[in-house]
Structure 1
Amino acid sequence: MTDRWAELDPSLQAYAQAGNGISREALLGALIERGELGAAVNAFFEQHDLLICPVYPHVAPSLAEVNSSNALFPHFTAWCHQLSLPAASLYAGLTASRLPIGIQIAGGRHADALVLWASHMLERAFGSAPFAELARVLSMPTTAADMTSARCAS
């Protein structure tokens, strides 16, 4: 992996480095805890069709604030991936400072179609994200060509 390390996104590098110090015993304990959490979450979804929650615990930082030194910032999406649950994140409006607000829709195992349907309905309710405005506010590329040149420059 070290021969291609520089090609990894800094956030992925931070996660990989964080895992270097974990012992086999700690990993096994974490896997057991994940199984227990999965059982509790499965019980939740036996009673509820969907969970709608924030993507981020507070107003999202600007891209300039997110760098390799804080790549492990808290977010509320990883648990769905770790428990193999279908989930979607979507635009839900703008803050007073014109930063995007994101919501996450999670469903129980194999409820992919329900999550997609709910995402579609909420996207219709909230409207589409104003991508050109967000790109200016967040200093992001706006076209595929801009994205390619930004990647090549970094």
Structure 2
Amino acid sequence: MSEVSFRSMKIGFWRQPPVGALNAEIDIAVSSAMETLADQGASIIPFTLPIVDVLDLFDHHWLAGAALGYASITEDDRSKLDSGFREAAEKGLRLSAIELLAAQVKRAHFGAAMDVALNGVDVVISPATAHLPFATAMNAPPNTRVKSWTEWTGFSYPLNLTGQPACVVSCGFSATGLPIGIQIIGARGADGRVLSVAKEIESLIGRYCESNHDLPRDGTRRNCKGPNCRRVEVPLR
């Protein structure tokens, strides 16, 4: 990994997921991290995905992939699978060859459009996920309108389709001590740049945080007295 400087670096800020809404605490924390990078001399440029129905495109590939594995096992083994996976696989079995080939063509066009979009920036930064962490036994965060896992993973699966390298590092904590991450995305093949930028961001934000508050061993920020603490404070509704 090479040394990087944020001075004069062009960073695209991808702020809105393709499906659903962004959690307010995550928005505050990631926006704060972007302000820190701007203070280091980076130019922050709004970034949006190329116009395409990303969820529909992902669904076709995900469902077909699930069906491929599902078709290769016995009915007895299928009965042991997660019910959500079974449902996805059975939908995938109903896809036609024409539907799958059409999705593959759209995927190629989407990837090419992302290549062009990334030509105008050094890297793109986004939230890691659209929602805060929740219990592993759940498919979606509680007390929200989110019903499917694809509604809170919208910052990751588009890159599974396009093939751009990405890396996630921490950028702070929620008001209750839950971790919040940002994702660094680079042009296809620019893995080294992504890792170098991620390393520098992690170092920069780490120094910024640790120098301004007491960080308890459990990771929460409740004892912080510093003015620049990255614990997110949001008004109660």
Q: TM over 0.5: same fold?
A: yes
| Residues 25-104 of structure 1 mapped to structure 2, 5 A cutoff | 25-57=98-130, 59-64=131-136, 66-67=138-139, 70-75=148-153, 76-104=155-183
Structure 2: how far apart are the matches of 1:126 and 1:133? 19
Report if aligned partners of 1:86, 1:109 keep a CA contact under 8 Å in 2: yes
Structure 1: how far apart are the matches of 2:197 and 2:80? 36
Structure 2: how far apart are the matches of 1:116 and 1:13? 36
Matched with 2:197 is 118
Tell me the C-alpha RMSD between the 2 structures: 3.1
Where structure 2 has 5 or more consecutive residues not aligned to the other structure, the ranges are 1-71, 141-146, 208-214, 220-237
The residue identity in structure 1 corresponding to 2:132 is A
| Residues 121-136 of structure 1 mapped to structure 2, 5 A cutoff | 121-127=200-206, 133=218
Structure 2: how far apart are the matches of 1:27 and 1:41? 21
Structure 2: how far apart are the matches of 1:119 and 1:9? 34
The residue identity in structure 1 corresponding to 2:122 is D
Q: Is the counterpart of residue 19 in structure 1 residue 92 in structure 2?
A: yes
Structure 1: how far apart are the matches of 2:150 and 2:93? 15
Residues 97-148 of structure 1 show CA distances to partners (whole Å, capped at 9, x for unaligned) of 22111111110011001000011011112229x8x636xxxxxxxxxxxxxx
> What is the TM-score of this pair, normalised by structure 1?
0.68
Change (3 A) 1:127 1:83: same
Change (3 A) 1:23 1:8: same
Instruction: Report which structure shows greater RCO (CA 8 Å, sep ≥6).
Output: 2
The residue identity in structure 1 corresponding to 2:138 is V
Report if aligned partners of 2:164, 2:189 keep a CA contact under 8 Å in 1: yes
The residue identity in structure 2 corresponding to 1:133 is D
Structure 1: how far apart are the matches of 2:199 and 2:81? 32
Structure 2: how far apart are the matches of 1:25 and 1:103? 37
1:61 is displaced (CA, Å) by 3.8
> What is the TM-score of this pair, normalised by structure 2?
0.46
The residue identity in structure 2 corresponding to 1:105 is I
Q: How many residues align?
A: 131
Q: Which has the higher helix share?
A: 1
1:24 is displaced (CA, Å) by 1.9
1:40 is displaced (CA, Å) by 1.0
